Amino acid sequence: MMTDAILVLNAGSSSIKFELFSVNGDDPESRLEGQMEGIGASPRLIARDARRQVLADHRWAGPDVADHATALRVMGQELAPAVEGYRIVAVGHRVVHGGPDFAAPVIVDDGMMDRLRALAPLAPLHQPHNLAGIAAARAALPGVPQVACFDTSFHRTHAWEADTFALPPEFYDRGIRRYGFHGLSYEYIAANLAEEEPALAAGRVVVAHLGNGSSLCAIRNGRSVDSTMGFTALDGVPMGTRCGQIDPGVLLHLMQAEGMDAAALQKLLYGNAGLKGMSGISQDVRDLEASGEPRAAGALAYYVWRVRREIGALAAALGGIDALVFTAGIGENARNLRARICDGLDFLGIAVDPERNAANAPEISSPGARTRVLVRPTDEEGMIARHVLALLQRSQNA
């Protein structure tokens, strides 16, 4: 007997994260997960089963796994014994940018690939690699539906004033607007809060997705009201290597006075800014906290300041706040930064209990605090699997 399964892929520039979900009813169940990293350089495949037991841990010479298509083929060969008995009925993909038109997952065909490629300039660090993963999966699994799930979709519930720029309206009509990102993560947090604490989920929640890519989102009754990211994933708070919010006049100055062209600006803003650029040391918070360098301390102080500032702004957009949720790599693990971010937010009813915070407890707010502060793991792959299954079920019932 074969078990139907959904494969979820999240392709980056030199990596493919994957997770296999069995399909039984309406709730996909994770069976194995892992990633192929270092594609084209020092490739390594590591995979674990649902009990976190290592199923595979292999390394290759760089030329042996030079691209995403080869990586997917090698992954299939290495993991064949682990996936025996599963029939992949669909593949779900994280796609960062859906533009103004895609507010829900879609099955990808040739025409859809062309439309998604046209959005690549809006997410140059992500979109081309996301699409490379789709192309590789289409070649490896012909006839299997490939489903694109967009990081921007969750934010399509914004009011016009939250999405527009102060430009003539024809620019908005041409798609120059604020999209917001990390939507799959926010959607997962909102859905799980609705399952665990429906009364809280119906209220006013600010979620801080803090990792190498960082953003915050204001959510009311499970729907996105506003987000710190805008037209691209550069906007908002500083990130590992991205600048976050910057005065557009700075860009004009760099072009006019210092002769930087678009390629040089892209390299600076996406790859040599943020925590890495400010510190000159690393984009990893752990490295910066361990460093005694003043530039490292300054980078962290700026990060804390900007995240705290955005929490206040999003609370204003919601007309108040009932809960603050930390998620993603920094949000779930960086205890010191969480405490520093929350320090001074007592005017919002936010207070952190030091012992709970040190223990990474699911709730770290002080007893009796007016606003709850939660720490929650996110699961973008699980959210994609849910979307894919729902789309398959709708297609079968149509």
Phi, psi of 19, rounded to the nearest 5 degrees = -150, 135
The helix (H) or strand (E) run that includes residue 297 is helix 294-318
- Is residue 153 within 8 A of residue 98, CB to CB? The reply is yes
Q: How far apart are CA 284 and CA 333, in angstroms?
A: 12
Q: How far apart are CA 33 and CA 19, in angstroms?
A: 4
Name every residue whose Cβ is closer than 8 Å to that of residue 71 and which is 6 or more positions away in sequence.
16, 36, 39, 43, 65, 136
User: Of 27, 101, 110, 151, which residue is the catalytic one?
Assistant: 151
Paired strand residues for 395: none
Does 151 qualify as catalytic in the annotation? yes
What does DSSP say about strands 44-49 and 29-37: parallel, antiparallel, or unpaired? antiparallel
Cα angle for residues 361, 375, 230 (degrees, 5° grid):
165
Q: How far apart are CA 349 and CA 371, in angstroms?
A: 5
| Burial zone of 44 (CB within 10 Å; 0-12 exposed, 13-18 middle, 19+ buried) | middle
Catalytic positions: 151
